[in-house]
Chain A
Amino acid sequence: AQTVTQSQPEMSVQEAETVTLSCTYDTSESDYYLFWYKQPPSRQMILVIRQEAYKQQNATENRFSVNFQKAAKSFSLKISDSQLGDAAMYFCAYRRDYGQNFVFGPGTRLSVLP
């Protein structure tokens, strides 16, 4: 069975600085998709960024980018120019190709310090 690990339960970053959240996963599949979700305090979970495993190029969405290392089964999220609104729980998730279910990691709570 696939598993997703986030080794940092909590992290903090100064406003305007850069922070990287780690995610590793275990799978025997070659085709799959990876996601980072953000859950702000008392608010809805939303998608931050996604990556197709067949793409070598790392995904980027404005201040958010990923470092996808397929051989190492690593999928880290980099947040540049951190803002107070980035404070949230961040979940890494995996879905295999031709699968319907998602597997989530335990989450990392990010605090942004003014």
Chain B
Amino acid sequence: DVKVTQSSRYLVKRTGEKVFLECVQDMDHENMFWYRQDPGLGLRLIYFSYDVKMKEKGDIPEGYSVSREKKERFSLILESASTNQTSMYLCASTPMRWTGAHEQYFGPGTRLTVT
């Protein structure tokens, strides 16, 4: 059974703290994604990685950075958390295939509250 796991389901942090969200997949997928989910806005892509140490900015990268040192692990970093980063964060992975209706596999999500 394929699995994407995220380090925390719920997280409460203070403004200005450095926050790490971890994601691990066991499917040997090349691609990994970080999304932010807010009501009425759907899923917005923060960053995308297609290989170890490779990353690409998504639609809303400001205030975030990422790290991918190993193929199975993709970390999202909030350098200095702010209240407007309170949200649900979803990690996902896919194999590197250029064509075909392959799906994204999602983690359970981390609900982050910044106070």
Point out residues on A near B: beta carbons under 8 Å. 4, 6, 9, 31, 33, 35, 37, 43-47, 50-52, 91, 93, 97-98, 100-102, 104-107
Contact = CB atoms under 8 A, between A and B. Distances in A.
Interface in B101-115: 101, 103-104, 106-109
A105 B42 contact: yes
Nearest to B97: A100
Contacts of B103: 35, 47, 50
> Which 6 pairs across A and B sit closest by C-beta, in order of nearness?
A45-B106, A104-B43, A106-B42, A33-B101, A104-B42, A47-B103
B41 A106 contact: yes
Contact of A50 (B90, B96, B101, B107): B101
Contacts of A97: 98-99
Contacts of A35: 101, 103
A91 B98 contact: no
A102 B104 contact: yes
A109 B9 CA distance: 21
Given A9-B40, A105-B42, 16 more contacts: A6-B42, A31-B99, A33-B101, A35-B103, A43-B108, A44-B109, A45-B90, A45-B109, A51-B101, A91-B42, A97-B98, A100-B96, A101-B45, A101-B48, A104-B42, A107-B42
